[in-house]
Amino acid sequence: MEKDASFLFGGISFNRRKFASDFDRFKGKNPDDLAEKLLLIEKEHETIDNSLEKLEFIENGKSEMEYERNASVGKKRKRKRKEKGTVSDSVEGFPVFKSSKLKKEVANEENDQSVNELVEGKKEYYRQLERDIVFRKMHNIHVSGSNIPSPLHSFEELRSRYRCRSYLLRNLAELGFKEPTPIQRQAIPVLLSGRECFASAPTGSGKTFAFVLPILMKLKNTTKDGVRAVILSPTRELASQTTRECRKLAKGKKFYIRLMTKQLAKNGDFSKLRCDVLISTPLRLKFAIRKGKLDLSRVEFLVLDESDKLFEPGMLEQVDFVVKACTNPSILRSLFSATLPDIVEDRARTIMHDAVRVIIGRKNSASETIKQKLVYVGSEEGKLLALRQSFAESLNPPVLVFVQNKERAKELYDELKLEDIRPDVIHSDLSQIQRENAVDNFRAGKTWVLIATDVVARGMDFKGVNCVINYDFPDSAAAYIHRIGRSGRAGRIGEATTFYTEADIPFLRNIANVITSSGGEVPEWIKSLTKKKWRKHRPRRDTISTQPDI
């Protein structure tokens, strides 16, 4: 056995340089530094490991030269690992021989911490969802879609959440907006989050600022890049009103906000004309695009105001032409209206991607601040008598009177123009200047009674209209909602009276449903009537006149 052992260790040379630390130990050199001691111990262990490896090589019949070659390769690998930081250094005061175990423990601790953070984040996310649900229920906000942003609690959140410029908040305060309306609470965060939306809210609920404010916040500054936002309105009167409101909110910032007039559509060259926000009716915009002097390829925002009217057959082709002209792939489209029929929703989904649906109150319902009543007048002759009697009992101007068409508007005006009620009339046969004057006089209080067709029933904001009279029965439930919505705006109290004759009774149930859904009362016999599906209820009516036929 001794022979075998001597044979195994025969020919081994002792490297003094390599084992210098061992020589120092035997010479009695005692280092005082703890770190130096640790280094010596580590070298000792490394030396023992190397000796054992060398013995294993020799026992397996391999040469010493081969061992040295493998050892040098191993040293290079260790050096690389040290450079990469894969081998942990010694911690002061503690010999770290089991670095991989410590690494695992550290990694486990980090994993546990990250898991805890993730769990806590999810809990906070679901708590926020619950808070949003309670808040929306409080304000009668109904939403559908995925990843819907939290509603606004106040306008100050616009500064903290979206870095809103101070001039916008100042202008809102000057315009009398202290708190966001329900539609503004939800629609503004949706649009600022880069999501498309279609929204329905009662008349007079602040829908215009719900899309104008996000547009101005996103555009930030004026540029020379051409038209960047387009707002489509069904009537010239509504387009003019939206332009005024947009300029009020942008006061203090040099945005180029333009209304598409007839002259601008014919002669305007938008390649030379600076314009950030363009507001127009679909027909005029289509005309300008076809002339080749208006490019909508850079439009970032497209808003369809009173979208249910814009999607009617008479305007649908024009709107479709404008939508196709807006070729920017990152465009945000939004639809706003007081009424949102199912067919409009279906069409909206074909042009929108991942849209959020926002409904305030009950869908397709009137404002609860309007006192509504139905008055039976028997025949066409009875309407004029009932109207005069109403004015004699309590004329509380300003009053809007709606009729079926422009011919009947002219006839009723001729009957009332000599009476002491300061009447005026607005219809499509009047020039643009005459129509604007009629609206301005009504707003200024010079006109007490304004006779109108449905041309002003869409979106027009007349401050303080006390009463709306439907002289002619509306041709649809949507028309009824928009007509009476000129009263009771922005939380004010309003009144709406609807005359009906024998010819209107088959369609009475449709209007009665709107009245009951907004908290009004109707007689039981009307509720028992069969609900008739209608397209457009426009019966042929007798001429409005008190002059006897000769």
| Distances from the Cα of 362 to the Cα of 252, 338, 366, 516, angstroms | 38, 11, 9, 11
SS3 content of the chain, % helix, strand, coil (to 5): 50, 15, 40
The pTM of the whole model exceeds 0.75: no
Measured at the CA of 83, the angle between CA 77 and CA 89, to 5 degrees, comes to 100
The reported pLDDT for the residue numbered 15 is: 65
89-139 pLDDT per residue, tens:
444 444 444 556 666 666 777 777 777 888 888 888 889 999 999 999 999
The reported pLDDT for the residue numbered 462 is: 77
**Residue type at position 487:** S
Strands 141-144 and 356-360 turn out to be antiparallel
| Distances from the Cα of 260 to the Cα of 120, 256, 334, angstroms | 53, 12, 20
d(CA 96, CA 94): 6
d(CA 337, CA 359): 10
The reported pLDDT for the residue numbered 87 is: 43
Q: Once rounded to an integer, what is the mean pLDDT over residues 242-253?
A: 93
The reported pLDDT for the residue numbered 70 is: 55
d(CA 336, CA 344): 11
Q: What percent of the chain has pLDDT over 70?
A: 78
d(CA 441, CA 398): 11
**Residue type at position 188:** I
The reported pLDDT for the residue numbered 51 is: 53
Residue 76 binned pLDDT confidence (cut-offs 50, 70, 90): low
The reported pLDDT for the residue numbered 67 is: 47
Closest CA to 93 of 36, 34, 43, 37: 34
d(CA 40, CA 46): 10
The reported pLDDT for the residue numbered 459 is: 64
The reported pLDDT for the residue numbered 123 is: 87
d(CA 520, CA 490): 19
The reported pLDDT for the residue numbered 346 is: 87
Residue 301 has pLDDT above 60, yes or no: yes
159-196 pLDDT per residue, tens:
999 999 999 999 999 998 899 999 999 999 999 999 99
Q: Once rounded to an integer, what is the mean pLDDT over residues 50-61?
A: 49
Residue 549 has pLDDT above 70, yes or no: no
CB of 336 closer than 8 Å to CB of 303? yes
Residue 57 binned pLDDT confidence (cut-offs 50, 70, 90): very low
499-539 pLDDT per residue, tens:
999 888 888 998 998 999 888 888 889 888 887 765 566 66
413-464 pLDDT per residue, tens:
999 998 889 999 998 888 888 988 998 899 899 999 999 988 777 767 777 7
CB of 199 closer than 8 Å to CB of 345? no
Residue 308 has pLDDT above 90, yes or no: no
Who has greater pLDDT, 359 or 9? 359
Residue 74 has pLDDT above 70, yes or no: no
The reported pLDDT for the residue numbered 14 is: 57
Residue 400 binned pLDDT confidence (cut-offs 50, 70, 90): very high
Report which listed range, 311-315, 331-335, 388-392, is most confident.
331-335
The reported pLDDT for the residue numbered 46 is: 58
